[in-house]
Amino acid sequence: QKEVEQDPGPLSVPEGAIVSLNCTYSNSAFQYFMWYRQYSRKGPELLMYTYSSGNKEDGRFTAQVDKSSKYISLFIRDSQPSDSATYLCAMSRINSGYALNFGKGTSLLVTP
Amino acid sequence: GAVVSQHPSWVICKSGTSVKIECRSLDFQATTMFWYRQFPKQSLMLMATSNEGSKATYEQGVEKDKFLINHASLTLSTLTVTSAHPEDSSFYICSARRDENTIYFGEGSWLTVV
């Protein structure tokens, strides 16, 4: 079993829809949780990070962490065509030097 | 703007030659940098963790003699692919840790070995 599982999609939604992206993980030692956005042939761009269970909001993006269920989510409100990209969840723990373990990434397409 | 610069963005080399990729943190000092490899439609796979002033820590299955990592300063880490072969063709991405919450990635380097 991979440490981080993420449905690769693709996920196609109409413009303006609410998008829900999810990851599950198996290692309870993970403490830091991040979401990255990656456009084709580019390096990942940090969107959000969270440390503990709960919600964190930044503009149209909301990140949720449920450590008891080992489940994290990213919600995108009022999705735009420019949000079309691959979204990667990542997590790290202190005793690995904060090296990131990535999910496979979910490919999102927002259609006008 | 970018906080981690990676160079070159694209490189084509002949089989058997060596290629060096640089990763620089632009406005912060990074004691730890990471090197990843990403195949098409796959996730990022950690190759090694690079700590300034000490030897890199390689992930299982990554040949340390083939992928030489040097982290000589707090703002620069280099990855050298030695005796490159076509199967080494991939997208190589570095990242630099600013703090425990924030890790920034470079734009990546496409390596094609012909």
Strands A106-111 and A11-14: parallel
Say if the Cβ atoms of B93 and A44 lie within 8 Å: yes
Please, which residues 40-99 of chain B have a Cβ atom closer than 8 Å to chain A? Answer: 41-44, 46, 49, 51, 57, 91, 93, 95, 97
Cis status of the peptide bond prior to A14, with omega within 30 of 0: no
- pLDDT tens column, A27-65: 998 888 999 999 988 889 989 988 878 899 999 999 999
Mean pLDDT of A76-87: 96
Across A74-107, b (16+ Cβ under 10 Å) vs e yields bbbeebeeebbbbbbbbbbeeeeebbbbbbbbbb
Examine the pLDDT at A94 and tell me if it is beyond 80: no
> Chain B residue closest to A6 (CA)?
B43
Cβ neighbours of A45 in B, within 8 Å: 105
Q: What is the pLDDT of residue B51?
A: 87
Say if the Cβ atoms of A51 and B101 lie within 8 Å: yes
Q: What is the pLDDT of residue A24?
A: 96
Q: What is the pLDDT of residue A54?
A: 87
Cβ neighbours of A94 in B, within 8 Å: 100
Residue A84 pLDDT class (50, 70, 90 cuts): very high
Examine the pLDDT at A98 and tell me if it is beyond 80: no
Q: Does B104 touch chain A (CB under 8 A)?
A: yes
Say if the Cβ atoms of A104 and B43 lie within 8 Å: yes
> Chain B residue closest to A90 (CA)?
B44
pLDDT tens, position by position, for chain B (114 residues)?
Answer: 668 999 999 999 999 999 999 999 998 998 889 999 998 878 889 999 988 888 899 999 999 999 999 988 899 999 999 999 999 999 999 999 887 678 889 999 999 999
Say if the Cβ atoms of B46 and A43 lie within 8 Å: no
> Chain A residue closest to B34 (CA)?
A99
Examine the pLDDT at A2 and tell me if it is beyond 90: no
Other CB atoms within a 10 A radius of the CB of residue B78 amount to: 19
Q: What is the pLDDT of residue A1?
A: 61
